Amino acid sequence: MTPFIEELKKRNDIAIYDEPLDIKLEIPHIAYAEVKKPNGGKALLFTRPKDGDKTFSAPVLMNIYGSYERCKLIFGREIEGVAGEIEGLMHMKPPQSLSDKFGMLGKLFSLKSVFPKRIKKGPAQEVILTGEAAKLSDIPVLTTWEEDGGPFITMGQVYTKSLDGQMSNLGMYRIQIYDDKTIGLHWQIHKDSSNFFDQYKEAGKPMPVAIAIGGDPLYTWCGQAPLPHGIFELLLYGFVKKEPAKLIKCVTNDLWIPHDADYVIEAVVDPSVLKTEGPFGDHTGYYTLKEDFPFGHVTAITHKKNPVFFATVVGKPPIEDKYMGWATERIFLPLLKTTAPDLIDYHMPENGVFHNLILAKIKPHYPGHAQQIMHAFWGVGQMSFVKHALFVDDKAPDLTDYEALSDYILNRIDKDELMISKGVVDHLDHSSPKQFVGGKLGVDATGAEVNLPKLEILDDDALLAQVHLYAPEIKALRQIKTHTQNPITLIKTSKSRNAKELFDALQDLGKHTRIVVLLDDTWQNDLDNLYMILWRVVNNIDAKRDIYLEHFIGIDATTKNALDGFDRHWPGDVLCTQSVLEDLRKRGLLDITDEEVRTWQLV
């Protein structure tokens, strides 16, 4: 086993499953339930993966990033220390004395370790398979969800380079397995690899690609790091580790990959042809739909003599990206401050699936300062995909103290001050009327508490009875935060008209509440489960279409359809297969209660 696995054993931070378990649904379902445990559960090692009657010698390793402590182990030091070093570099000043010059020289000399080092040999090529011997079906690639289009590599490091060879890129994109020789490449339209692909397509030349799996777990985190265009992500590896990434040349192309990868799949892409990819149960908690993407023909598979297959499972939060995202937040805060110097801190809650919600704390100096920084965020790299931005000032509670922070924000919201605009949205966003472009919401809560007219607060039953006079389709409601200036009323409705018609019918609600949130009448929308309600709301709204500002602040988080003029396909929730879940529980392989299944909406 790898040193990383041995260290996890010493820490009693890995659960080992020696019973044969299927790569289709069984292994992923166990991992999906594990990461929902307090503090993310343990890492998981499945030593006897199988595909029906076929067995694999390579074990499957999962949930490696599923806790703060394992993240620190992977980085090899405190995450905040990495951020501090970056901040120090950002604030370097011209030396004023000889000692200053030597100090700066030391810092700059230490940066030599960031540049990857090319070497001749490595364990990633202990076994080299080409031609008919290179078969993807010999790798234990998981099929995670029942509606997935097939098996997907979910922790692949995708290596590409620009047509002129001047830029290299490492991205973390899912890889669909079509057959023994064909892979689907889900690099999204805004990513560097997609930009490189366009270059090859315009030139009419085949594009090389390499997918590495395993090796040092830090490679995977580097693959999702939001670095500026053109900066090779493995520079970040060297910065964190204080030693360069060691790279070896692929067997059938001129890409360079980590010397210690467990598996490497080498392929060539014909840029003139696309192939239908998906569906896939993604990290948004929804299926991403079928769409045409590039695909590659496998030219070689190399691996260690005793490889380990790394995988992650995505779906509804919380999942592994909660912890990976935390590391990204801390490390990239100093870089964000170069764009917004008055930024103090930011946080992207995992149930906002990162690109749907950002909380930011700033030191405001003048009216409109928060809006200015919102625009700066929406114009910078991956921050440009954020749909909803809530800004507070330096007197606000900690951004992770959700109860206190939500009170602080609700006491400072004035509906006339909300900023609704339009911009780029993530490739995976399903709620915008048009793919890639949608509404943005900015909330400036950096000012003093608002002093709004007093409301007549009713109890839930009384308010529901009043609501039924105008909207019998409403099935349930719950009021929260009634002690604040902007109480919220959550409403479950059996949709029979569009939101504006319903909000207009409920205009008298403005006497009793200030924010009304519409949800579909399904059991998943448990009005007591605010964690999952927030996940549903920020996924399902497009600010320009779904926010109503006449008699109160109305938010339509229902499934959109023809009533809303919505003509895109609305995807379904990611759900476990109930029969598989129950079988695993009966066999004593899955320790999860009925309450936990319901809370995290597993089925």
pTM of the model: 0.93
Instruction: Round to the nearest angstrom and report the end-to-end CA distance of the chain.
Output: 34
CATH for the stretch 321-445 = 3.40.1670.10
Q: Where in the chain is the domain with CATH 3.40.1670.10?
A: 321-445, 460-564
Q: What Rg value do the Cα atoms of the chain yield, rounded?
A: 25
108 pLDDT exceeds 50?
Answer: no
Average pLDDT over residues 94-122: 63
- For 155-185, the pLDDT digits (tens) are 999 999 999 999 999 999 999 999 999 999 9
- Does residue 279 have a cis peptide bond before it, meaning omega lies within 30 degrees of 0? yes
Asked if the 460-564 domain carries CATH number 3.30.430.20, the reply is no
Average pLDDT over residues 134-149: 97
Token output for 15: 């659960």
- What's the pLDDT at 33? 96
- For 293-318, the pLDDT digits (tens) are 999 999 999 999 999 999 999 999 99
100 pLDDT exceeds 50?
Answer: no
- For 396-414, the pLDDT digits (tens) are 999 999 999 999 999 999 9
Average pLDDT over residues 111-115: 77
- What's the pLDDT at 1? 62
77 confidence band (pLDDT: 50, 70, 90)? confident
Average pLDDT over residues 536-551: 96
Asked if the 111-311 domain carries CATH number 2.60.40.420, the reply is no
- For 458-481, the pLDDT digits (tens) are 999 999 999 999 999 999 999 999
447 pLDDT exceeds 50?
Answer: yes
- What's the pLDDT at 336? 84
562 pLDDT exceeds 90?
Answer: yes
The per-residue pLDDT of the chain, averaged, comes to: 92
- What's the pLDDT at 301? 98
- For 502-527, the pLDDT digits (tens) are 999 999 999 999 999 999 999 999 99
- For 10-30, the pLDDT digits (tens) are 999 999 999 999 999 999 999
The torsion angle over the Cα atoms of residues 6, 263, 43 and 356, rounded to 10 degrees, is 140
Contacts 24+ apart (CB under 8 A), 416-422: 416/549, 417/444, 418/442, 418/443, 418/547, 418/549, 418/553, 419/371, 419/374, 419/443, 419/444, 420/543, 420/544, 420/547, 421/378, 421/543, 422/544
3-state class (DSSP) for residue 286: strand
Q: Where in the chain is the domain with CATH 2.30.110.10?
A: 111-311
98 pLDDT exceeds 70?
Answer: no
